[in-house]
Structure 1
Amino acid sequence: MHEELHALQENFTWDIVPRPPGVKPIGCKWVYSVKLNSDGTLNRYKARLVALGNKQEYGVDYDETFAPVAKMTSIRTILAIAASQGWSLTQMDVKNAFLHGDLAEDIYMTLPPGLPSSSEGVCKLKRSLYGLRQAPRAWFEKFRTTIIGFSFTQSQFDSSLFIHRTSTGIVLLLIYVDDMIITGSDHAAIQRIKHQLQDSFHMKDLGDLHYFLGLEVCSDSKGIFLHQHKYIEDLISLAGLTSATPVDTPLEINVKYRRDEGDLLSDPLLYRQLVGSLNYLTITRPDISFAVQQMSQFMQTPRHLHLAAVRRIIRYLKGTSSRGLFFPTGKPLSLIGYSDADWAGCSDTRRSVTGWCMFLGPALISWKSKKQSRVSKSSTESEYRAMSTACSEIIWLRGLLAELGFPQDTATPLFADNTSAIQIATNPVFHERTKHIEVDCHSIREALDNHVISLPHVTSQLQLADILTKAVTRPRHQFLVNKLMLLDPPHQFEGGCQ
């Protein structure tokens, strides 16, 4: 606490002034946490002074809010590129990041507990403080201005990604609130940028990337292995299933879950905690994406049957807790996609489920399992809608890859197993069968005409997005998991990250 107060005072975070008449200062409190390493050992104890931003009023002492949160697809894309090109990955952390932001509003705060008792008055904040509504936005604006001053440009496709091109290569910097990943082909420029950041902010150089936002990263000459083993172990403990027997698939096949089936849970807290944790786990586990999407529909009024299904997902994870995504070294960076749909898959609404996945070379970088926004009149229509949303992701990824220096020179193949949907996409004539489909779905035709995508047919047996639309049998599940490059740790990583 003394170190935190010293840092606040060194940063000129506030001035102690008499309380202005008619002003009701917001409060503050201390928040304590224990930081752990990826192996569960103690890293450090942490105390942070937090302003009670819930007492702020919109339009009075704050306006717009924003947090610099990188897209998970961007993180996986950069890891896939770094693995392919053999780039090193460095991690840095900003100490007291939010304290660097400058405030434009007049905000008064009560004196924090721990200041000398002789102090009187209130704190007039000059810098942002954790807990303030505008603190993330103020910090990011300060960081953005600083990093652009170092000749970086902000990505047009992810506002948390910054790119610096030099005469000998490129440097990529991705920020997630106050954690940074730095990689690229120009090692000298990377070292220079790190020194510049340390001169501008209170930085902590964490060395090679190993543990980032609960994601464990293992690297060697063969590639990068990304997993969430520790996170899964904590989730199993939370669910009370440490002694449970593992199962082979996340969901039982041919079982439809309904909103009003079974008895309500008397306390839905545990269900919501487990599903929320499972949602974060889908960052590296596409094999549970469909199951988690199904269980997320019942967050409002979960029932005992739904909790049993969630526990089955966790029992599946118990048997595959070390499984993760592998990004191999030296592979070509060509983008390909797969699109699928399960027609009228929702028992309550009869809406279909969209599933798609995108590969950069052999590495899986993006996927989605989501219920469609409206009912489709045929399986062809549901497949066509799925192809359209997958096409939007391809366009975004192609733009991002071109910006990173890896443009896709040929049309991106989007594999689909429904020949009727492919024919609708390639047919320029609107007729009775398609006029009820929204115009935005037909944007896939424009992408096809401009050679942004191609639409090759794939058999249903080889449709890799199938795992994102329905529960499948154990042999089918294992086949698709292997095709997604979702592997148990290679032998060189079995002892953990080195």
Structure 2
Amino acid sequence: MKPPPGLFSSPTSDVCKLKRSLYGLKQAPRAWCDKFRSTLLQLSFEQSCVLLLVYVDDIIITGTDSSLITSLQQQLKDSFHMKDLGTLTYFLGLEVHYNSLGVFLNQCKYTQDLIALAGLQESPSVDTPLELNVKYRRDERDLIPDPTLFRQLVGSLNYLTITRPDIFFAVQQVSKFMQNPCHLHVVDVRRIIRYLSGTSTRGLFFPSGSPIQLKAFSDSDWAGCSDTHCSVMGWCMSLGDSLISWKSKKQDCVSKSSTEAEYRAMYTACSEIIWLRGLFAEIEFPQSSPTSFYADNTSVIQIATNPVYHERTKHIEVDCHFIREAVDRRVIPLPHVSSDLQIADMFTKSMARQCHRFLLGKLMLVDPPTSI
């Protein structure tokens, strides 16, 4: 920031006090949220059947009472300069389609723009985002001289994971090399984009008749990171048949066994389950029954349901064992699922084509329904 011309006649160390927020400052989002929150409180806005999703100055309003939504829109217009764009069809690159069967979300235009940015419009597509059993390292040779485009592509891919959980693990892997990418890492990013070029219309489908019952899947590899030997964990949450939350992340510490790695993954996923259950209670959709939490490691299930601390688990941080409390309080049961049906596998490793396609269907990640 520079002072307006003519304010100071000569160079000085004086500063100006800014009495209002300017667009682009790091303080601007906080100032806007504070103003918007205070306005809603002045309007006596409370938890009800109307929900607002606020992203900076873009707002989605939804609910079951159309008259209340109309009243709220008018009150907000009295306080802010706002434009009503009608029924939601496009929001920050997210395309929304409706039909009698449910709602379909994708980012087709955003994907096409990303493919054009990479210059891969004419390149052949591939069936999977990663090669099978590929290992990534930081100390690869041939650093690229200018990583700007690489960083732009990885950042864009990260935003695309909003509706494309099938590339989440691949994006998590290449994101580790943002500082010093090599030519091999560029090849990996280009493969992800070539995969997208053949599936650019794919997105998430939310069936209208899906039951409102939360269920979760959790998994982890063991020492999957070649540089740190930390494990990569993954989990996903579904509301009925609709995928609503997912994650792929390298763990913060090295696990001594695959059981410990999966136990840590379950601990992180259990935190998300408890948060989601609280969120559903706030929006008046409480979970009346425990959340089924599926794991494919029987040793992990036994540790989580066994109140005795034995030698093989005494080195694990105490806070990880709060999953036992969740089991005792009947927040979650821990049914076993076979590794072939473990949906969270997609967030921890690269896969062969047939297995990849099978799990896509389980995630309700599909091409647009024909009636849309």
Provide the TM-score with structure 1 as the length reference: 0.72
Q: CA deviation at 1:17?
A: 11
* Corresponding letter in the other structure for 2:41: I
Q: CA deviation at 1:431?
A: 1.0
Matched, 1:420 2:288: no
CA 1:194–1:23: 2 relative to 1, 3 Å: farther
- For 1:437 and 1:215, how far apart are their aligned partners in 2? 41
- Give the drift of 1:405: 0.5
CA distance, structure 1, for counterparts of residue 271 and residue 118 of structure 2: 37
Q: Which residue of 2 aligns with 1:401?
A: 280
Larger Rg: 1
- Partner AA of 1:295 in structure 2: V
**Offset of residue 173 of structure 1:** 1.0
Secondary structure in structure 2 of the residue aligned to 1:380: helix
C-alpha distance in 2 between matches for 1:389 and 1:246: 35
The alignment-based identity, stated in percent, is: 67
CA deviation after TM superposition for structure 1 residue 18, in Å:
6.8
1:318 aligns with 2:211: no
1:363 aligns with 2:242: yes
Match of 1:150 in 2: 43
Task: For 1:448 and 1:20, locate their aligned partners in 2 and report how far apart those are by CA, in whole Å.
Answer: 70
Gaps of 5+ in 2: none
Q: Residue 480 of structure 1 aligns with which residue?
A: 359
SS at match of 1:270: helix
Aligned length: 368
Equivalent AA in structure 2 for residue 377 of structure 1: K
Once the two structures are superposed, residues 302-341 of structure 1 have per-residue CA deviations (whole angstroms, 9 ceiling, x without a partner) of: 1111110110000000000000001111221100000000
Residues in 1 aligned to 2:199 and 2:25: alpha-carbon distance in whole angstroms: 40
Question: Per the alignment, do residues 406 and 20 of structure 1 end up closer, same or farther by CA in structure 2, a change over 3 Å counting?
Answer: farther
SS of 2:368's partner is coil
TM-aligned CA distance change 1:174 to 1:20, over 3 Å: farther
In structure 1, the partner of 2:24 is: 131
**C-alpha separation between the residues in 1 aligned to 2:44 and 2:9?**
43
Aligned with 2:217: secondary structure? strand
Query: Any stretches of 5+ residues in structure 1 without a counterpart?
Result: 1-15, 27-105, 108-124, 154-162, 494-498
The equivalences for 1:338-357 within 5 A come to: 338-357=217-236
Aligned counterpart, 2:308:
429
CA distance in 1, matches of 2:217, 2:25: 43
1:246 corresponds in structure 2 to: 125
- Distance (Å, rounded) in 2 between the aligned partners of 1:341 and 1:455: 16
Aligned to 1:189: 68
Q: Give the partner amino acid of 1:145.
A: S
| Match of residue 255, structure 1, among 134, 142, 163 | 134
Secondary structure, counterpart of 2:84 in structure 1: strand
SS in structure 2 at match of 1:233: helix
In structure 2, relative to structure 1, the CA distance for the partners of 1:222 and 1:441 (3 Å cut) is same
Give deviations 1:239-296, integer Å, cap 9, x for gaps: 1100000000000002211111231111111111111111111111000000000101
Q: Which amino acid aligns with 1:418?
A: N
**Cα distance, 1:20 vs structure 2:** 11
**1:265 aligned onto 2:144:** yes
Whether 1:490 and 2:369 are equivalent positions in the alignment is yes
Please say if 1:231 is aligned against 2:124.
no
Q: Which residue number corresponds to residue 69 of structure 1?
A: none
Aligned to 2:345: 466
Matches within 5 A, 1:318-337: 318-337=197-216
Higher relative contact order (CA closer than 8 Å, sequence separation 6+): 2
Counterpart CA distance in 2 for 1:128 and 1:295 is 36
Alignment partner, residue 141 of structure 1: 34
Q: Counterpart in 2 of 1:390?
A: 269
**1:385/1:20 CA distance change after superposition, 3 Å:** farther
After superposition, what is the alpha-carbon deviation per residue over 1:431-461, rounded to whole angstroms, capped at 9, x for unaligned? 1100011111111011111111111000000
> In structure 2, what is the Cα distance between the partners aligned to 1:199 and 1:295?
47
Counterpart-to-counterpart distance in 1, 2:7 and 2:136: 61
RMSD: 1.8
Query: 1:46 is matched with which residue?
Result: none
Q: Give the ranges of 4+ consecutive aligned residues of structure 1 lying more than 6 Å apart after TM superposition.
A: 16-23
